[in-house]
Structure 1
Amino acid sequence: MKPDFPASGTRRLDTAAQTQAFGEELGRALEAGDVVILDGPLGAGKTTFTQGLARGMQVKGRITSPTFVIAREHRSEIGGPTLIHLDAYRLLGEDPEDVDSDPIGALDSLDLDTDLDTAVVVAEWGGGLVEQITESYLLISIDRETAVAEDPESEARIFTWQWRSGH
């Protein structure tokens, strides 16, 4: 990741547009080989965030939830890295412990056309698998409960991120 984006932090984002703008900011800072794990409950804004991230990376194709296809590849429009957007929850299957022996094999089974060293991987529900394929990754946790507890009408999300070591 380029050094102009902070390695850790917290932001409160009140709207989907703000969530996409934050994603776009991060997308401009990501480089080939970067891995991002998005952690948050259903409806937290993982795909909305990834839509902005894809805009920042300037990749082709509409960003939708990868839930039913498990992974989508989006090629760069400007010669930058490919975005691999995946749903690790579906990849893990019934027993997340099963992939511990071969996490790369689990990802290889997707038949992706891209070398992971030339791509940015963004994994929804990636905990337990994706961090095993990399030396370091950016973990982004999305909290939608805190703002709703303060104001039941709130649409705000609190994004917390930090670079972590894999393996």
Structure 2
Amino acid sequence: MPAGALHRRVVLPNQDLLRIRPKGRAARRSQREVEHMLRRAQEAVLHPDVKFEVFLEDGWQEKVKGKQPLRFSQNIVCIELTGPDLTDLSFVDLPGIVQNAESEVVNLVEDMVNNYIKGTSLILVTLLMSDDIENQKAARLAHLADPKGHRTI
């Protein structure tokens, strides 16, 4: 089992958060180890029927083999940076805005994005460069949440 822990806690009604909380200082973590733990957390989010502790074990892939993962989830993977010399910072990776899926999936993702970009949070929008910005809903949702662009990157 790699160093670190994976925790689940309720953040909103009907919404869980799987949190990677490495032991020790994050600066001592290799990029590969962080990526490895993020992938485990993403798989845990998409397999809510599997106890999250399974994803901390070696050979976890065999234990979820044959189980159908969710296409989308209201659960998120959040990276939190904290420390005595750091400004507290959280990164929440949200699913991409889908437009060509069932309406319930489209609404789920849009509602989730709108919930996280309201208020005072900073919004980092990533866009496909192969399409015009006007055709990308993520930019539109960010503009609606932050019309003056003060919180949007």
Class of the TM-score when normalised by the shorter of the 2 chains: under 0.3
TM-score normalized with structure 2 length: 0.25
- Name which structure has the greater RCO, CA cutoff 8 Å, separation 6+: 1
Higher strand share: 1
